[in-house]
Amino acid sequence: MSSEDRKLDVLRAIVEDFVSTNDPVGSRALSERHNLGVSPATIRNDMAALEEEGYIAQPHTSAGRVPTDKGYRLFVDRLSATKPLSGAERRAIQSFLAGAGDLDDMLRRTVRLLAQLTRQVAVVQYPTLTRSSVRHLEVVDVGPRRLMLVLITDTGRVEQRVLELPLAVCDDDVNELRRILNTHLQGRRLADAHAALIDLPDVVTPALRPVMTTIVAGLVEALVDQPEERVVTGGTANLTRSAMDFPNSLHPVLEALEEQVVLLRLIGEVDSSTVLVRIGGENPHEGLHSTSVVSVGYGAGDTALGGLGVVGPTRMDYAGNMTAVRAVARYVGQMLAGS
């Protein structure tokens, strides 16, 4: 084993010890708990080098070392072994998700499960509209010159939108609108719906044209221009467990977790194959600079329908969280495919 390799072993040991004890780790403790085969003095030299290179740091002169963001990054990229799920965890996942009814229910369960498995804050995104397709589009008359459109996607999402109409419509009109919308949109992917939508005003009777134009405008806005993304979070209480890891109090973290936009940027930009880890300062949002985010896309097949992940202190069990997140995502994908 070259001395370079041992340096990395030392870094790995530091990360593991620090994650589990939350105490800065010194050379002596290191040589005792891991059999690296060298004396503390040698470890000290390695540590000096690691510090020089920016992988670890000392809170103060007479303290042990603590991994830096950069250190965690190296750990995650090259040092952490993938941790297999325990049988209990595997069973927990299945029994948790098996009983799910509709999509809402399933995602609620998912977020709970993920929070429980990782003991972190869990975040789950609803299947994104743009990559879903139309299963049914319902038109309901709701009061004078108002229609409610209810979109049901193949992933089970149900989205509503109320439109103000330029003129009143009767029941027959509503039925006609529903029929036309469904014939032209059913099965279509929402990303491609635009093309189909713009032609619709022309296929209805002239009397209905203004109404259809309004509907099309509403749909285009809701589905294409600014498709509504949804996220659910859970397990916020887990943050207090690691309160000591957030020097500036939980405030900025909790604030960030309330912003849908922030959450979407965290877990929405992932593909379904690889787990993405963002460590400390790598996070786009200021308030999350003392947290790490582990996320992955889920989906039935190759394209990611949405993302899910966990948010916790940088001092987290990366290996464990990565496998948990990956496993849950796979199950969610299966559930969606099977429905």
The residues binding DNA (CB under 7 A) are: 3, 6, 23-29, 37-42, 44-45, 47-48, 51, 58-65
Strands (E), the chain: 56-57, 66-67, 121-125, 134-141, 146-153, 158-164, 231-234, 276-279, 291-298, 306-313
Residue 124 binds what, of a second copy, DNA, none (CB under 5 to 8 Å, by partner type)? none
Residue 192 binds what, of a second copy, DNA, none (CB under 5 to 8 Å, by partner type)? none
- Of 67, 71, 235, 307, the residue at the interface with a second copy (CB under 8 A) is 235
CA within 13 Å, CB half, 14 = 30
Residue 339 binds what, of a second copy, DNA, none (CB under 5 to 8 Å, by partner type)? a second copy
In the complex, the smallest distance separating the C-beta of residue 67 from a second copy, rounded to whole angstroms, is: 26
**Interface stretch with a second copy, choices 19-27, 64-72, 189-197, 241-249 (CB under 8 A):** 241-249
Closest to DNA by CB, 62 or 183: 62
Closest to DNA by CB, 49 or 85: 49
Q: Does 179 bind a second copy (CB under 8 A)?
A: no
Helices 103-118 + 87-98 axis angle, to 10: 160
Contact 281, 263 (CB under 8 A): no
Q: Does 337 bind a second copy (CB under 8 A)?
A: no
Contact 297, 265 (CB under 8 A): no
The two three-digit tokens of residue 149, written as one number: 């459109």
In the complex, the smallest distance separating the C-beta of residue 60 from DNA, rounded to whole angstroms, is: 3
Q: Does 136 bind a second copy (CB under 8 A)?
A: yes
In the complex, the smallest distance separating the C-beta of residue 49 from DNA, rounded to whole angstroms, is: 10
Beta-bridge mates of residue 140: 148
- Of 33, 34, 44, 135, the residue at the interface with a second copy (CB under 8 A) is 135
Q: What does R_g of the chain's alpha carbons equal in angstroms?
A: 26
Please report, for the chain, how many H helices and E strands are present, in that order. 13, 10
Q: Tokens 């799920």 label which residue?
A: 85
Please state, in angstroms and rounded to a whole number, the distance separating the CA atoms of residues 258 and 125.
Answer: 14
Closest to a second copy by CB, 199 or 221: 221
Number of residues that bind a second copy (CB under 8 A): 34
Closest to DNA by CB, 26 or 268: 26
Please state, in angstroms and rounded to a whole number, the distance separating the CA atoms of residues 117 and 312.
Answer: 13
Q: Does 156 bind a second copy (CB under 8 A)?
A: yes
Helices 171-185 + 193-203 axis angle, to 10: 140
Closest to a second copy by CB, 102 or 271: 102
Length of the chain counted residue by residue: 339
Residues forming the site for a second copy (CB under 8 A): 101-104, 135-136, 138, 140, 142-143, 148, 150, 152, 156, 158, 160-162, 234-237, 239-241, 243, 249-251, 254-255, 257-258, 339
